[in-house]
């Protein structure tokens, strides 16, 4: 392990990753590759000086939930869609100051959940509910990597576009753009403590996906979304990086062949949902969904 993760570094051509700092660039690559659109761009958040994922809200408890990595310095709240939300103090069991650690059979997974109220003056975020992988990931599965860390220059939009890829210091500004890249799930790993991870390999341009991603300082808490049965599902949360086969004992600067470790979300799905309960989309999506069902029924009657 070389250190905690924080910013997606993308190979691509000369390191630019084909517009890897914009949603439009990602959706364009997906469309040109006949892959389904990615619906969770807005769910990817800045949390502290790293990343987090808005999962959705519970219509019964009126609580929203954010998933991130425990090793990130905790804060008391988060900004989602321009609105500020304060975290609700967790239950004593498995709790940090403001979040609840995901623990499975005594194993600390580095996953942490934060909840906030969407009652009263706090609007429900106008975002979809993130679907979590419902089956174990397969080696070779295509993944979208997303995080808001940076390569060079804290709090700026500048990047080092030459290899090797030097890490910068992540900023705490929401203006820092989200980065994205692709990769394949290379293999799984269980550490000495029993925690489970998905591993990706940073391939040079011309190998792997052609625009492989590699995590760096600032991507912790960011998501790895796996293509499953024609849709993107959350499969992992960025945890750390590790040196690859070159054995230079470095992942900063990042080099081709280095690894990114994602905590395996599917392995802890039941522990996550036991805390969040059933999460639903924001109201307008629910209404549109219902209308779509009614329309389909009318067409069938005709």
Q: What percent of the chain has pLDDT over 90?
A: 47
pLDDT exceeds cutoff 50 at 296: no
> Is residue 97 predicted with pLDDT exceeding 80?
no
pLDDT of 34 higher than 80: yes
- What is the mean predicted confidence (pLDDT) over 256-285? 88
Helices (H), 179-225: none
- Tell whether the model's pLDDT for residue 224 goes beyond 90: yes
| CA 210 vs CA 117, 161, 205, 226: distances in Å | 42, 16, 5, 17
How far is 155 from 174, CA to CA, in rounded Å?
9
Cα–Cα distance for residue pair 261/224, rounded to 1 Å: 10
What phi and psi, each to the nearest 5 degrees, are found at residue 289? -65, -45
Q: What are φ and ψ of residue 187, in 5° steps?
A: -165, 170
Query: In the prediction, which pLDDT does 17 show?
Result: 53
Pairing of the two strands 196-201 and 107-117: unpaired
Q: Is the per-residue pLDDT at 162 higher than 60?
A: no
CATH 2.40.10.10 domain locations along the chain: 3-40+131-269
pLDDT above 50: residue 143: yes
Report, as an integer, the average pLDDT of 153-179.
58
202 pLDDT above the threshold of 90:
no
pLDDT in tens, 36-82: 999 999 999 989 888 999 999 999 999 999 999 999 988 999 999 88
Do residues 120 and 63 lie in contact, with contact meaning Cβ atoms separated by under 8 Å?
no
CATH fold for the domain made of 3-40+131-269: Thrombin, subunit H (2.40.10)
The reply to whether the predicted model has a pTM over 0.75 is yes
Q: Please check the confidence at residue 126 and state whether its pLDDT lies above 80.
A: yes
pLDDT for res 297: 26
Instruction: State the pLDDT at residue 210.
Output: 76
Q: What is the mean pLDDT of the chain?
A: 80
Task: Tell me the C-alpha distance between 130 and 26, whole Å.
Answer: 18
The residue with greater pLDDT, 62 or 294, is 62
Calculate the CA 45 to chain-centre distance.
9
Rounded to the nearest 5 percent, the helix, strand and coil shares of the chain are: 15, 35, 50
Please state, as a whole number, how many other Cβ atoms lie within 10 Å of the Cβ of residue 41. 17
Dump strand ranges (E) for the chain: 3-4, 9-10, 44-47, 50-58, 63-69, 77-80, 83-86, 100-104, 107-117, 142-147, 179-190, 196-201, 213-214, 223-228, 231-242, 259-264
pLDDT at 154: 36
Interval 41-52: pLDDT, tens:
999 998 988 899
pLDDT tens by residue, 227-258? 999 999 999 999 998 887 766 677 777 778 88
> Higher model confidence: residue 154 or residue 137?
137
Mean pLDDT value across residues 16-38: 82
Is 2.60.120 the CATH classification of the domain at 44-129?
no
Lowest mean pLDDT among 73-82, 141-150, 292-301: 292-301
């Amino acid at each position: 392990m070389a250190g905690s993760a924080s910013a997606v570094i993308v190979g691509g051509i000369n390191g630019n990753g084909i517009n890897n700092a914009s949603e439009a660039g990602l959706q364009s690559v997906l469309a040109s590759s006949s892959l389904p659109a990615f619906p969770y761009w807005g769910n990817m958040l800045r949390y502290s000086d790293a990343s987090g994922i808005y999962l959705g809200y519970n219509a019964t408890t009126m609580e929203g939930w954010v998933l991130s990595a425990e090793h990130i310095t905790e804060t008391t709240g988060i900004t989602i869609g321009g609105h500020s939300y304060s975290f609700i103090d967790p239950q004593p069991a498995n709790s940090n100051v403001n979040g609840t650690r995901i623990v499975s059979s005594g194993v600390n997974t580095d996953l942490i959940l934060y909840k906030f109220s969407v009652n009263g003056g706090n609007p429900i975020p106008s975002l979809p509910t993130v679907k979590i992988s419902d089956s174990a990931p397969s080696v070779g599965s295509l993944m979208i990597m997303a995080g808001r860390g940076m390569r060079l220059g804290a709090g700026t939009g500048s990047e080092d576009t030459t290899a090797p890829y030097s890490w910068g210091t992540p900023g705490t500004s929401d203006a820092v753009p989200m980065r994205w890249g692709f990769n394949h799930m290379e293999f799984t790993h269980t550490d000495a403590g029993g925690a489970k991870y998905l591993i990706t390999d940073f391939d040079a341009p011309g190998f792997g996906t052609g625009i492989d991603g590699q995590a760096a300082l600032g991507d912790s808490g960011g998501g790895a979304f796996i293509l499953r049965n024609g849709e993107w599902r959350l499969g992992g949360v960025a945890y750390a990086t590790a040196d690859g086969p070159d054995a230079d004992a470095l992942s900063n600067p990042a080099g081709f062949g280095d690894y990114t470790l994602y905590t395996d979300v599917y392995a802890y799905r039941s522990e996550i949902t036991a805390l969040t309960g059933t999460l639903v989309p924001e109201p307008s999506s629910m209404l549109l969904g219902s209308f779509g069902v009614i329309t389909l029924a009318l067409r069938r009657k005709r």
